[in-house]
A and B are shown apart, each in its own frame.
Chain A
Amino acid sequence: MNIVKAKSDKTTTKEAVEEIKSIFGNFEPRMVLFFASSNYESEKISAEMKATFPSSDIIGCSTAGEITSGEMLKNSVVAMAFNSDVLNNVKIEIVEGISDGVDISDAMNSFESFYGKKMTEMDYKKYLGMVLIDGLTCAEESLMENIGNKTNVFFVGGSAGDDLKFEATHVCANGKSYSDAAVLALMDVKSGFDIIKTQSFKVLDKVLVATKVNESSREILEFNNEPAAVAYAKALDVPVDELSSHFMSNPLGLMIDDEPYVRSPQAVEGSSVKFYCSILEGMELSLLESANIIEETANALQQKVEEFGEISGLVNFNCILRTLNLESDGKSKEYAEIFNDIPTTGFSTYGEQYLGHINQTATMIIFK
């Protein structure tokens, strides 16, 4: 096996990392990825992971729930290790101070210097980026736009969580822990990989145009030249005071190639609606209706299994809103079991990254 996964629910950081190490056994990781409940102190677990796997590159973050093959967990740590038959190389960079403006130029220069290639010339079939970002910065859109402007390489990932406390989220790299930061890992993948973006919504025929927005606060003041909450409620044919109870099942989608890039509403504020990701003025958004997460995720995965033959490892960045939806429907176990036969690690995120920043989606990386 070239990819192995592990989990631990030991309460002390030291014991949890020791358990992960014992599960990995003699495996020699080129890179270790870990996702840990915010109950573990971020600085401690990052340092402990590096001390335990000193010759590996290590990245991770805090979560709003952890995922491993066949299980959706709480208050635990999950990890995945990749050996050099999967990764020819990996380079990790930290982008700090992102809430004051994202500047990725140093990170991109470092990647270019490390790989001896310009970011614009890197082959997207050979190189793969992973991005973990502090989930409370509202900087995801800017980060992803900056990355997308600089390279054709796909960067996939998620926003760190803190078990729904919304106080502090952390990203980790090589023994250190960071807030107000993003960790970027650029991998030279030897074995082949692919990306899944899946969301479970039916697209309705009602469209809301964002006619007045406050982009930086992710707030929509008007849809269709009406107060946003009024227009949204009208589209759903519900009273305004019931609007927020429909948020989970009826988010909006920016339609690209007949596929929604989901924008999830967070709260009604006066007559405005605040979202979990930004919406640009003039954007036309389709009203969505929730569908079957289990069925659509299983289908998306099955399609890749058929293309790949066998999947060596899967990293799942699953939106916390999907996790909550599954929990309220009593379907968490059924969801986790989709990944029973595939070495899987992942976490419940505060946002998903693929080409841009999206919500109520699972972005996944699969390795051959």
Chain B
Amino acid sequence: MAGKIKKMIEHIISKKSGNDSTLASSLNAKLCLQGVIPKKYDASSPDDPVIIGKLQTIAAEWGVSLAGV
């Protein structure tokens, strides 16, 4: 399977930022500093379980539900 990481990242940033561009940019930076580089992932990126696990942890910390993603 592929593309899940990109979907998760987009969902997390969108929910947490409320589509505010300043917040979206700062959340992108926070993800990078925590070791997830959003620009590295596209629709064909393999579903790396390590990165998916990291995003699940971050989503939980940020209070973002990943239900349905």
Contacts and interface: CB of A to CB of B under 8 A. Distances in A.
A88 interface: no
A280 B35 contact: yes
Contacts of A154: 26
Interface string B26-42: 11111011110100000
Contacts of B58: 149
A152 B16 contact: yes
A283 B37 CA distance: 9
A257 B61 contact: no
| Size band of the interface chain A makes with B | 10 to 19
Contact of B29 (A124, A257, A281): A257
Interface string A350-368: 0000011000000000000
Given A124-B22, A280-B35, A283-B35, A148 B63 contact: no
B29 A256 contact: yes
Interface string A149-176: 1001010000000000000000000000
B26 A355 contact: yes
Interface in A237-292: 254, 256-257, 261, 280-284
Interface in A308-330: none
B33 A355 contact: yes
A280 B33 CA distance: 8
B44 interface: no
Contacts of B29: 256-257, 261, 355-356
A120 interface: yes
Contacts of A355: 26, 29-30, 33
Interface string B4-29: 00000000000011000011011111
A295 interface: no
Contacts of A257: 25, 28-29
Nearest to A144: B33
A358 to B, nearest CB: 9
A43 interface: no
A152 B33 contact: no
A259 to B, nearest CB: 9
Given A254-B33, A282-B35, A149 B28 contact: no
A256 B28 contact: yes
B33 A356 contact: yes
A145 interface: yes
A254 B63 CA distance: 26
Determine which residue in B16, B33, B34 has the highest number of CB atoms from chain A within 10 A of its CB, and name it: B33
18 contacts: A120-B63, A124-B22, A145-B30, A145-B33, A145-B34, A148-B30, A148-B33, A149-B58, A149-B62, A152-B16, A152-B27, A154-B26, A254-B32, A256-B28, A256-B32, A261-B32, A261-B33, A280-B35
Interface of A: 120, 124, 145, 148-149, 152, 154, 254, 256-257, 261, 280-284, 355-356
Given A152-B16, A152-B26, A256-B33, 11 more contacts: A148-B30, A149-B61, A152-B23, A254-B33, A256-B28, A256-B29, A256-B32, A257-B28, A257-B29, A282-B35, A356-B30
- 9 closest A-B pairs (Cβ-Cβ)? A356-B33, A149-B61, A280-B35, A256-B32, A148-B30, A256-B29, A355-B29, A152-B23, A355-B30
